[in-house]
Amino acid sequence: MMESAPKEDRFHHVVVAATKNSLEQFPEDAASQFAYAFWYENDAMCESVEKRLNTPGLPPVRKRRLMYLVDRLRRFPCLTPEQASRMKDFVSRWSNLSQDVSRKVSKRAATTNPYDKLAATWGLEENVSHVMNMVLELQTRHFVDEHNLPSGYSKLEKH
């Protein structure tokens, strides 16, 4: 799925793409690359995410977009239990980003985007459902088995 460029370069590119503009403008290929890297190359991807979050001068809304994606993607069963636990801790460590957003913004986001409460908790007024629709096939057991990827799914017995 991901090209053969050095991992750090590939991850940096998709992490920047996730934060650059509204998630409504997140390019389909970048969303797919982000999800794939997050789910199946999690350790290296998280280093890139952490590095981006620690970028001096990065506007808080960009950090919230990134953490929203991490928070959303960590909930899928394709992560191993260990990865899911680490990602839950990671999200907890960065939860202060959402606390920096006034309750007014979060309340308005919940009204603007009532179907994605998680986005609202990160203070985002962006409709991100299309982003999730683009990556759903990447998290299926069929995709994992077909590509022999590490995942949180139990192995299917072949008869």
Q: Is the Cβ–Cβ distance between 76 and 84 less than 8 Å?
A: no
* 111 within some domain: no
Residue 45 is assigned to a structural domain of this protein: yes
Q: What pLDDT was estimated at residue 102?
A: 46
Question: Domain tally for the chain?
Answer: 1
Residue 53 has pLDDT above 60, yes or no: yes
152 assigned to some structural domain:
no
| SS3 per-residue string spanning 65-99 | HHHHHHHHHCCCCCCCHHHHHHHHHHHHHCCHHHH
Q: How far apart are the C-alpha atoms of 70 and 84, rounded to whole Å?
A: 11
Instruction: Report residue 9's pLDDT band, with 50, 70 and 90 as the boundaries.
Output: low
Contact 98, 122 (CB under 8 A): yes
**Which of 95-99, 119-123, 140-144 shows the lowest mean pLDDT across its residues?**
95-99
The answer as to whether 93 is a domain residue is yes
Q: Give the whole-angstrom CA distance, residue 125 versus residue 106.
A: 8
Residue 17 within a domain: yes
Contact 58, 41 (CB under 8 A): no
Would you say residue 2 lies in a domain? Answer: no
Structural domain of 38 = 7-100+128-146
What pTM did the predictor assign? 0.84
Please check the confidence at residue 3 and state whether its pLDDT lies above 50.
no
- Domain membership of residue 154 (yes or no) is no
